Amino acid sequence: MSQEHVVAVNPIFARPGEAVAVERYRMPIGEMLPETAFRIVHDEVMLDGNARLNLATFVGTWMDEYAARLYAESFDKNMVDKDEYPHTAIIEDRCWKILADLWNAPDPTHTIGTSTVGSSEACMLAGLALKRRWQHARRAAGKPTDRPNLVMSSAVQVVWEKFCNYWDVTPRLVPISEEHRTLDGHDLDAYVDENTIGVVAILGVTYTGAYEPVKRIAEALDRIQRDTGADVPIHVDGASGAMVAPFLQSDLEWDFRLERVHSINTSGHKYGLVYPGLGWVVWRSADLLPEDLIFKVSYLGGETPSLALNFSRPGAQVLLQYYQFLRLGRSGYRAVQKSSQDVARYLADSIGAMGAFELWNDGSDIPVFAWRLKSGHTGNWNLYDLSDRLRMKGWQVPAYPMPDNLADTTVQRIVVRDGLGMDLARDLLDDIRAATDFLDRLSGPMPTDGAVPGFHH
Ligand SMILES: Cc1ncc(COP(=O)(O)O)c(C=O)c1O
């Protein structure tokens, strides 16, 4: 069989009588010793990047040893099986009520929420609730419901384009520009009409980490309501920022303090500080989630409401989230996010001072920032080349184009998460300086064949 169809097993690990090659795309005929199977899988993923050096992802890559113990004790729990794991279900409820309180819901005990696989599922559910509420209101008024639209910035995360595609909603993208770098309420009346199911405001734009000014968006919608009667709710996509702002910018009004904010999502697995596989969505009050989206699941001989796209999914992450809430408390979360932000500000200041670059933002919202090459600095290299050079040192620092209206602008972004301390940051800066010096010394342009962004939001 040709080499491309087999996975080779080092004879050191294969016991006598065991195969030293296994078919890549077909299940083996017989069994194999667990040690051998372990070694094959273990070795195969050895070439994955080092998660701690991955400065592209927002997703948590480190938890402490007690979290690891709890994870190992609970990886068999199925979140949907509330009958079998009633206490995991109780803890799930506790967690979203804690979030409702953190996000200043007027009455956290009368909110409704759920855990999800991640922010993507949470956004889908929040979007569905907006659509269903709008449909009910339109039907009650005897008006058509066939052309719903959702208004958001052109810099939304891909999940919102998916939502619109999967659930037949027209996306209305407000283009960002040099003057309006985020959705800021400007010109909103040109996009919002009676068919608008809601406006998405992003707390921590994926491209740059900048907050969209939710309060200004809400004020623009208040004006629109006064002028046209259209009462358009806001969903805040706080995938990252909803677990940062409560601790670092507690005076910023972006949450349920604004009446127009109906729902908020976050990723437990981003700045919620939990391993991947966890998101949350909470509604300001239970009445904002249409009853007909909720299914009844039997639970302790009674019934519990269920709102989810998935059926079975891991329950362990929910327990890990509760562990972090207890372990860190508000002051612990503040300390962790603040130290990430200090590192982000330090990196941003240092990169901004390097001469070749111009900062897009400085990490003072979430601990994420982006920069671009100074116009006229060089024609010999670009940020994709810098990204490649850093990759040689193990760092993943993506470069990518901004969305449509600014697609000619390439930026590079660093996401600082728990685990990237000042020491690593200094090493990273040394490597950025060395790579930039190397590229600046080139006597001609880097070859561009096949140089395309390898990163997608
Ligand atoms: C603003 C925003 N929304 C949604 C998502 C999707 O989140 P998840 O990966 O948790 O599904 C992301 C991920 O980066 C994001 O940045």
pLDDT digits (tens, 9 = 90+) for 198-224: 999 999 999 999 999 999 999 999 999
* The pLDDT value given to residue 46: 87
| Residue 20 structure tokens | 């030293």
Checking if the pLDDT of 32 tops 60, the result is yes
What is the position in ligand 1's atom list of the atom closest to the CA of 205? 1
Q: What is the pTM of this model?
A: 0.93
Q: Per-residue pLDDT averaged across 429-444, rounded?
A: 97
Burial of 137 (0-12, 13-18, 19+ CB in 10 A): middle
**How many whole angstroms from 182 Cα to the centroid of ligand 1?**
17
Segment 372-376 mean pLDDT:
95
End-to-end alpha carbon distance in the chain: 39
Which residues are CB-neighbours of 57 under 8 A, at least 6 positions away?
Answer: 51, 415, 417
* 26, pLDDT greater than 70: yes
pLDDT given at position 452 = 59
Nearest CA to ligand 1 atom 7: 119
Tell me, in angstroms, the distance from the centre of ligand 1 to residue 457's CA. 8
Q: How far is the CA of 247 from the centre of ligand 1 (A)?
A: 20
Q: Which of 54, 58, 269 to mutate to test the pocket of ligand 1 (most atoms within 8 A of CB)?
A: 58
For residue 122, the ligand 1 atom closest to its alpha carbon is 11
131 phi and psi angles, rounded to 5 deg = -65, -45
* From 125, 267, 278, 365, mutation site for ligand 1 pocket: most ligand atoms within 8 A of C-beta: 267
Q: For residue 76, what pLDDT is reported?
A: 92
| Shortest-distance atom of ligand 1 to CA 203 | 1
State pLDDT tens for residues 250-277.
999 999 999 999 999 999 999 999 999 9
Q: Which of 206, 310, 413 to mutate to test the pocket of ligand 1 (most atoms within 8 A of CB)?
A: 206
How confident is residue 301, by pLDDT bands cut at 50, 70 and 90? Answer: low
Answer for the pair 348, 363: CB distance below 8 angstroms, yes or no: yes
Residue of 361 and 49 predicted with greater confidence = 361
Among protein residues, the one with the nearest Cα to ligand 1's atom 8 is 119
Lowest mean pLDDT among 22-26, 91-95, 214-218: 22-26
User: Which residues form ligand 1's pocket by a CB distance below 6 Å?
Assistant: 58, 118-120, 123, 157, 159, 202, 206, 237, 239-240, 267, 279
Ligand 1 atom closest to the Cα of residue 457 is: 14
Mean pLDDT score of the chain: 93
Residue 453 has pLDDT above 80, yes or no: no
Which domains are delineated in the chain?
6-47 (no CATH), 67-327 (3.40.640.10), 337-441 (3.90.1150.160)
Atom of ligand 1 nearest to the CA of 270: 10
Distance from residue 161's CA to the centre of ligand 1 (Å)? 12
Using most ligand atoms within 8 A of CB, pick from 59, 116, 119 the residue to mutate for ligand 1.
119
Task: Say how many Å lie between the CA of residue 417 and the centre of ligand 1.
Answer: 15
Contacts from 322-327 at CB under 8 Å and sequence distance 24+? 322/91, 322/94, 322/95, 323/66, 323/67, 323/70, 324/63, 324/67, 324/272, 324/273, 324/274, 325/95, 325/98, 327/64, 327/66
pLDDT at residue 457 above 60? no
What's the average model confidence in pLDDT over 56-69? 92
Q: Which atom of ligand 1 is nearest to the CA of 202?
A: 1
Atom nearest to 123 CA in ligand 1: 4
Give yes or no for residue 454 having a pLDDT over 70.
no
- pLDDT, one tens digit per residue, over 117-167 is 999 999 999 999 999 999 999 999 999 999 999 999 999 999 999 999 999
The pick from 120, 200, 211, 278 for probing ligand 1's pocket by mutation, whose C-beta has the most ligand atoms within 8 angstroms, reads: 120
Closest CA to 417 of 347, 345, 336: 336
In the predicted model, what is the mean pLDDT of residues 81-103?
Answer: 92
Contact (Cβ atoms closer than 8 angstroms) between residue 208 and residue 411: yes
Give the position, in ligand 1's atom list, of the atom nearest the Cα of 238.
1
Specify the ligand 1 atom closest to the Cα of 118.
10
